[in-house]
Amino acid sequence: MDDQTTYQDLFRLEGRRALVIGAGGIGSAAARALAAHGADVTCADWDLAAAEETAAAVHGSAVMLNITDAEAVRTAAERMPEMDIVVLTAATNVRKRILEYLPEDFDRVVNLNLKGTFSVIKFFGETMVRRGTGSLIIFSSIRDQVVEPGQSVYAATKAGAVQLVKTAAAEFGESGVRVNAISPGIVETALTEQIKSQPEWYQAYATKNALGRWSVPAELAGAVVYLASDAASYITGTTLRVDGGWTSVDGRFTPPTSSSQGG
């Protein structure tokens, strides 16, 4: 990177092929941002209509993909071996305390969030390693680091996803493949309608982070473009936190301060 033209091109994605898995909500914003920077985007979702809606917006293609089906992921990777960028946003949560959790709740969350993540990393990583290039971007959550009641299994899967990302980065790195995670804070999507519908809960989350507000999906898109692009060519195995400072501050209470007080 030794001239102005090179620096200007750092975020350009022309000629690169991207697959966004979980093409609604955050995935839709990610697909739009990748397309805006020049990538040829394929949108995948278990809900084909959601994939098609985003695909239409980015002039891309749409496919149905259920990542809880490992064979379906394997087949998709074999049919799309040319992908330079794969972004996984799909996830689910069952908000229950541990003593209330049912085995079927556990299986539902783990099968999508952890097993599905493993399948995407394994099968799409395999095609990237063969080609000697690629960027895998896995969405985690602040729950990979901090928790609250009712988040046990979800938090465990997100922490597990981060460890899969680190291991894949270590294993794929010599082949020129980068693997990273993005860890959002609280985002206004259809999946957070339950929280948004309760004003006290909504406000409590807003005041927990340093910026004092929720994020919107578009605010995650820059992180996706960055990790997909040459601007992040020496970044792998990392978790990029886009959480408004949630994991950096105590939140909820701003104490009085003076030079004589300890902490």
How big, in percent rounded to 5, are the helix, strand and coil portions of the chain?
A: 50, 15, 35
Indicate which residues carry an active-site annotation.
154
Max CA separation in the chain (angstroms) = 65
Three-state SS for 31?
helix
Cβ pair 57, 124 in contact under 8 A: no
Cβ pair 141, 114 in contact under 8 A: no
Q: Which of 116, 112, 110, 109 is nearest to 95 (CA)?
A: 109
Element of type H or E holding 138: strand 134-139
- The letter for the amino acid at 245 is G
